[in-house]
Amino acid sequence: MKFLEALMNRRSIRDLTNKIGISDEDLIDIFKFNLKHTPSAFNSQSPKLLLLLDKEHHKFWDILKEELKKIVPKENFGKTDKKINGFRNGYGTVLFFDDSSITEDLIDKFPLYRENLLTWTEQHNGMLQANVWTSLAEHDIGASLQHYSEVVVHRLAEAFSVPKTCRLIAQMPFGGIVTEVGPKTFIDIDKRIIVMK
Ligand SMILES: Cc1cc2nc3c(=O)[nH]c(=O)nc-3n(C[C@H](O)[C@H](O)[C@H](O)COP(=O)(O)O)c2cc1C
């Protein structure tokens, strides 16, 4: 039941605090465990993580703000700033990458699978994202999934020494939960599954 409960309790928490109830060692173990045990197509293990804590976490969101300032109209920036502060106020951020050198090697080996491998790469990264998100929820750590890759990608090599072969897919800021989010609406579940026997 523990897994199903965590699955149900995982929500998008966008207003974060910098207080969580576990040590950095335990936190790092959660990420390592998820990386190790989440499946990947051909067992390629191409997903990679960059875990940003403390000043590195703040640096990421400050860089993103700088970049957003260049593209968001001045009159809307207050709203954007508030939203980004919700993430920046958190405990840390994990960046999800695909190591494209691994994926490209596989494509070279199995050229007929090229399109599938590109799709599966997104899928197994998504599986990792979901597993990490649920694992954090299991420890009462709030998180959300963000997609600002295009806006910040050109700053990562200099700011965080990210290798060129690592392609940024998603960002997950996490931390303490300020306010629980409201209930979700659900489509009738029986309209989404057919059971045959
Ligand atoms: C593949 C995927 C992409 C998402 N991208 C974003 C995003 O870029 N920004 C964001 O704030 N939420 C994003 N979300 C969160 C969804 O909007 C959210 O999961 C959904 O509304 C259900 O709410 P819940 O997470 O509280 O259960 C994404 C979720 C998924 C699964």
- What average pLDDT does this structure show over 54-81? 98
Percent helix, strand and coil across the chain, each to the nearest 5: 55, 15, 25
pLDDT in tens, 31-47: 999 999 999 999 999 99
pLDDT in tens, 80-116: 999 999 999 999 999 999 999 999 999 999 999 999 9
Domain layout of the chain by residue ranges: 2-191
Nearest CA to ligand 1 atom 14: 145
Q: What's the confidence (pLDDT) of residue 180? A: 87
Distance 147 CA to ligand 1 centre (A): 10
- Give the C-alpha separation, 175 to 19, whole Å: 6
Alpha carbon of 21 to those of 3, 8, 9, 26, 138: distances in Å? 19, 20, 17, 10, 11
Q: What percent of the chain has pLDDT over 90?
A: 97
- Give the C-alpha separation, 92 to 175, whole Å: 7
- What average pLDDT does this structure show over 8-19? 97
Write out residues with Cβ below 6 Å of ligand 1: 11-12, 144-147, 181, 184
Per-residue pLDDT at 179 exceeds 90: no
CATH class of residue range 2-191:
alpha beta
- Give the C-alpha separation, 122 to 41, whole Å: 10
Q: What's the confidence (pLDDT) of residue 1? A: 66
Per-residue pLDDT at 147 exceeds 90: yes
Per-residue pLDDT at 158 exceeds 90: yes
Q: What's the confidence (pLDDT) of residue 197? A: 97
Residue by residue, DSSP assigns 53-68 as EHHHHHHHHHHHHHHH
Ligand 1 atom, smallest distance to 170 CA: 8
- What average pLDDT does this structure show over 61-88? 98
Nearest CA to ligand 1 atom 9: 146
Distance, first Cα to last Cα, the chain: 26
Q: Which of 10, 134, 144, 150 to mutate to test the pocket of ligand 1 (most atoms within 8 A of CB)?
A: 144
Region of 39 on the Ramachandran plot (φ > 0 left; ψ -120 to 50 alpha; else beta): beta
Q: What's the confidence (pLDDT) of residue 40? A: 98
